[in-house]
C-alpha cells in the first residue's frame, strides 16, 4: 500500500457552493471542462469562486501533452470522464493540485489517480495523482443524462468480477493484495446492490477510486471484465461502465466455478436487468464471434500487463465460453 494522500470528500445537494471556501487560499484557478458543461455551469461556478478563472475546453480525446495556461495555482476538473481525466493529466504535468467536480456519476475515476488516455490512436491508463478534494453536488449530477448513471452502476457492479479475480490472482499468481482495500471495494459493491439511490452510487464510485489510490493500481477495480471492455473499445461499442458490466456475469460464472464465488452471475444479471443495463449480445448488436474475438484480445491484454485472468486459470476454451453465453442468457 502506498502513502497516498486521500481526498476530502463532499457529497450532497448544493455542495458546489463549498468551492468558495475550498478555493479561498488560491489566486488563479484553471477549470478543465467541455463546452456543454461550461455553458450549463460556467456562470454559476464563476459566481461562487473568488479567484481568477481560466477555462480550458477539452476536445474529443484527452491529449497527454495539453499545455497549461500560466499563472494558475490550482486545477479544477469539471465534468464527466474526459474533463476529469484531462485535469488529472494537467495536474501531473504541472505539479499543481487538482479538485474533482464530477457532473455525472458515470464511472469510478472521479476520485482516482488513474486517467484513461488516448494517444496516437491508442487508449491506455496513466498513473497521475488523486484529487485533493472531491465536490460531488448531487443536484448537478442528478440532472446528467440517465445513461451516464446507468454506466456508473455498471462500473460498480463489475467489482463482483474484479474483486474475486484479484483474490484468485493473489492466491494462484502471487499478485499483491490488500484486505483493507478489498473490503472497501466490496462495501461499495454491496451498497449499490442494497440501495439504488444516486448518493449511494456516487459514494461507491468515490470509495472505489480511493481504494485504487490506496493500493497504487487499478487491479482491485479492474479485471478481465475491464480488459474485455478495452477490447470492445477498439470499435467503440458503448460507455465504459455498460461494457464492463456486460462482461461481468461471464467472468463471475467462471470465477464461481473455480471456487471464487463473491456474487455469482445470477445476482449480477438480476441487478443489471433491474437497472436496465444491456445483458444480451443483441442488446449491443454484437455477434458471438466478435465477442469471442474481444475475449481473446482481452486475455492478451491481461498477459501483457502481468495480470492473471480467470480465463487463463481454468483455462477456458471457446466452446466453454459459448456454452456459458447460452446458459447465462447472453443469447436470449
Ligand atoms: Zn471501470
Q: How far is the CA of 174 from the centre of ligand 1 (A)?
A: 23
Average pLDDT over residues 120-139: 85
Q: How far is the CA of 21 from the centre of ligand 1 (A)?
A: 32
Topology classification of domain 8-142? Rossmann fold (3.40.50)
Q: How far is the CA of 268 from the centre of ligand 1 (A)?
A: 16
Q: How far is the CA of 110 from the centre of ligand 1 (A)?
A: 11
What is the structure's pLDDT at 62?
A: 54
Q: How far is the CA of 68 from the centre of ligand 1 (A)?
A: 28
- Condensed to tens digits (0 to 9), the pLDDT of residues 248-290 reads 999 999 999 999 989 989 999 999 999 999 999 999 999 999 9
- CA 275/CA 154 separation, integer angstroms: 9
Correct CATH for 146-327 of 3.40.630.10, 1.20.1090.10, 3.40.50.2300, 3.30.70.1140: 1.20.1090.10
Average pLDDT over residues 103-114: 92
What is the structure's pLDDT at 1?
A: 45
Radius of gyration of the chain from its Cα atoms, rounded to whole angstroms = 20
Q: 51, 60, 151: which is closest to 105 by C-alpha?
A: 151
Q: Which of these ranges, 35-44, 122-131, 151-160, 273-282, has the smallest mean pLDDT?
A: 122-131
- Condensed to tens digits (0 to 9), the pLDDT of residues 40-87 reads 999 999 999 999 999 998 865 556 566 677 889 999 999 988 899 989
Q: How far is the CA of 244 from the centre of ligand 1 (A)?
A: 7
Q: How far is the CA of 70 from the centre of ligand 1 (A)?
A: 33
Average pLDDT over residues 134-142: 97
Is residue 327 within 8 A of residue 252, CB to CB? The reply is: no
- CA 310/CA 169 separation, integer angstroms: 8
Residue boundaries of the structural domains of the chain: 8-142, 146-327
Instruction: Please report which confidence band the pLDDT of residue 121 belongs to, taking 50, 70 and 90 as the band edges.
Output: low
Is residue 222 within 8 A of residue 155, CB to CB? The reply is: no
Amino acid at each position: 500500500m502506498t502513502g497516498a494522500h486521500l481526498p476530502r470528500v463532499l457529497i450532497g445537494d448544493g455542495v458546489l457552493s463549498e468551492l468558495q471556501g475550498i478555493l479561498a487560499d488560491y489566486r488563479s484557478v484553471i477549470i478543465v471542462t467541455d463546452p456543454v458543461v461550461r455553458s450549463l455551469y460556467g456562470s454559476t461556478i464563476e459566481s461562487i469562486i473568488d479567484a481568477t478563472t481560466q477555462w480550458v475546453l477539452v476536445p474529443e480525446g484527452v491529449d497527454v501533452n495539453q499545455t497549461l495556461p500560466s499563472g494558475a495555482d490550482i486545477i479544477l476538473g469539471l465534468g464527466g470522464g474526459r474533463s476529469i481525466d484531462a485535469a488529472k493529466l494537467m495536474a501531473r504535468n504541472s505539479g499543481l493540485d487538482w479538485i474533482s467536480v464530477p457532473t455525472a456519476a458515470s464511472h469510478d475515476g472521479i476520485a482516482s489517480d488513474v486517467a484513461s488516455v488516448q494517444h496516437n490512436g491508442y487508449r491506455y491508463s496513466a498513473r497521475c495523482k488523486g484529487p485533493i478534494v472531491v465536490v460531488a453536488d448531487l443536484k448537478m449530477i442528478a440532472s446528467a443524462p440517465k445513461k451516464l448513471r446507468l454506466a456508473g452502476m455498471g462500473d460498480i457492479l463489475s467489482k463482483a468480477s474484479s474483486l474475486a479475480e484479484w483474490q484468485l490472482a493473489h492466491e494462484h499468481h502471487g499478485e499483491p493484495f490488500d484486505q483493507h482495500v478489498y473490503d472497501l471495494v466490496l462495501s461499495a459493491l454491496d451498497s449499490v446492490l442494497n440501495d439504488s439511490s444516486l448518493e449511494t452510487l456516487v459514494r461507491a464510485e468515490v470509495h472505489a477510486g480511493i481504494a485504487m489510490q490506496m493500493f497504487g493500481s487499478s487491479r482491485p477495480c479492474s479485471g478481465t471484465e475491464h480488459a474485455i471492455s478495452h477490447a470492445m473499445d477498439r470499435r467503440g461499442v458503448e460507455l465504459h461502465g455498460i461494457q464492463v458490466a456486460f462482461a461481468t456475469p461471464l467472468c463471475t460464472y467462471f470465477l464461481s466455478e473455480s471456487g471464487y464465488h463473491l456474487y455469482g452471475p445470477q445476482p449480477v444479471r438480476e441487478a443489471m436487468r433491474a437497472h436496465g443495463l444491456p445483458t444480451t449480445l443483441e442488446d449491443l448488436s454484437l455477434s458471438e464471434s466478435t465477442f469471442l474475438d474481444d475475449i481473446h484480445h482481452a486475455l492478451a491484454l491481461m498477459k501483457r500487463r502481468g495480470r492473471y485472468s480467470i480465463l487463463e486459470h481454468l483455462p477456458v476454451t471457446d466452446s466453454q465460453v459459448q456454452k456459458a453465453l447460452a446458459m447465462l442468457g447472453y443469447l436470449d
